Amino acid sequence: MIPFLDLNQINKPYLPAIEEASLRVLRSGWYILGNELKSFETAFANYCQVRYCIGVANGLDAIGLILRAYEFPEKSEIIVPANTYIASVLPVSYLNLIPVFVEPDPYSMLIDPAKIEEKITSETRAILCVDLYGRSCEMLEIAALAKKYNLKVITDAAQAHGAIYDGQKVGGIADATAFSFYPTKNLGALGDAGAITTNDPLLAERITYLRNYGSKERYKNEFQGVNSRLDEIQAAILNVKLPFLEAENARRRDIARRYLAEIKLPDLVLPPDDRIDQDAWHLFVVRHPDRAAFTGYLDQMGVQTNVHYPLPIHKQKAYATINHYNLPITEEIHQRVISLPLNPVLSDEEVSHIIETVNKYQQ
């Protein structure tokens, strides 16, 4: 069986260095907001070619802290993609802001810039784009809209560490960008972790306080903040793994290139092939009209697949008040998508086996 993702194999090459780094933290007696976090924040900001990076507890908090820091009035409207993981939208809801869903471009499955403007009202304050599957949204078009209507651009790049758009790394493009280092991401910790990047010094400062109870100096609170800190052990582990992110993304791109060139199955829709060397290929998402039959076959043939995601946000029980929304492109995507295994530890032989197995499928 070729597993969809084997975290044991993913982390194996780094384990000796991770064990050493973790032990160093354990023995240091300093566990929260210390030098490991500082060096990771500097290194990740450099990697993203952006001025500031603030480590936080996870990707969900990263999105929520950006929204909090902007202090949008309650009931402000935030443009969000209808096709995304629920974590992109939950912070909008729990901060009493209103998510306004925009359908994806059927080709890229990312928010369709051509459908944003019709959703902008006098209450709109920001566009939250999600670089889903590892591909940057169309940031030139989105930035033009943001400028025209004086909106903030926030990116959820939880799946897009190292992706490039128009020559720029994701993380330095939007006004503020949220990252997750959940273990399965392109850059994964061995527990929960996240970060925010921005070029805006005031926003960076505010988020630095907000993640630590709103405190600038100990016991002096400027804001009603939260507890969302990236701990020293996870920061030390990320410091070990970050230098290898480029090489891992390069391996992902090589596999994506082979899938795109060699998979030939009439009914299967492949992901965009126009930016192979810019996309971060967190997932390789194909679409098939009979998903159950196709994934059943792959499973029988020893290829484990996954579905990102089976049920759209507006159809979730958690969003019962908007279950009636009609978002046909999003709904069709959720019925058809299948993620093939794509990760840096797949061997060339395994990639060949996956390609041959897919191509041999007969309805």
Ligand X SMILES: *Cc1c(COP(=O)(O)O)cnc(C)c1O
User: What residue ranges bind ligand X (CB under 6 A)?
Assistant: 58-60, 84-85, 87-88, 130, 156, 158-159, 180, 182, 192, 194
DSSP-derived secondary structure for 191-256? S--EEEEES-HHHHHHHHHHTBTTEEETTEESS---B---BHHHHHHHHHHGGGHHHHHHHHHHHH
Q: Which is nearer to ligand X, 3 or 183 (CB)?
A: 183
Work out how close the CB of 62 gets to ligand X at its nearest, in angstroms, rounded to a whole number: 8
In the complex, the smallest distance separating the C-beta of residue 44 from ligand X, rounded to whole angstroms, is 15
Measured between alpha carbons, how far is 101 from 89 in angstroms, rounded to an integer?
Answer: 10
Token pair 């041999």 is found at 360
Q: How far is the CB of 363 from ligand X (least distance, A)?
A: 32
Place of tokens 């967190």: 282
Q: Cβ of residue 180: shortest distance to ligand X, in angstroms?
A: 3
Smallest separation, CB 86 to ligand X (Å): 8
Q: Token digits for 111?
A: 């928010």
The CB-of-25 to ligand X minimum distance in angstroms stands at 20
Nearest residue (CB) to ligand X, 101 versus 182: 182
d(CA 138, CA 149): 17
Pair of tokens at residue 292: 């159950």
CA distance 181 to 57: 9
Rounded to a whole number of angstroms, the minimum distance from the CB of residue 288 to ligand X is 22
CB of 160 to ligand X, least distance (A): 9
Q: What is the CA radius of gyration of the chain?
A: 20
Name the residue nearer to ligand X (CB basis): 268 or 340. Answer: 340
User: For residues 305 and 339, which CB has a smaller minimum distance to ligand X in the complex?
Assistant: 339
Nearer to ligand X, 88 or 278 (CB): 88
Of all residues in the shown chain, the one whose CB is closest to ligand X is 59
Task: Give residue 68's identity as a one-letter amino acid code.
Answer: R
CA 153 to CA 150: how far, in whole Å?
10
Name the minimum Å distance from CB 219 to ligand X.
29
Is the preceding omega at residue 309 within 30 degrees of 0, hence cis?
A: yes
Nearer Cβ to ligand X (76/88): 88
Q: 290: left (phi > 0), else alpha (psi -120 to 50), else beta?
A: beta
* Dist CA 327 CA 325 (whole Å): 6
Residues paired with residue 196 on neighbouring β-strands, in sequence order: 54, 178
CA distances from 176 to 133, 206, 216, 322 (A): 19, 12, 21, 28
Nearer to ligand X, 294 or 319 (CB): 319
Strand 215-217 to 168-169 pairing: unpaired
| Closer to ligand X by Cβ: residue 127 or 351 | 127
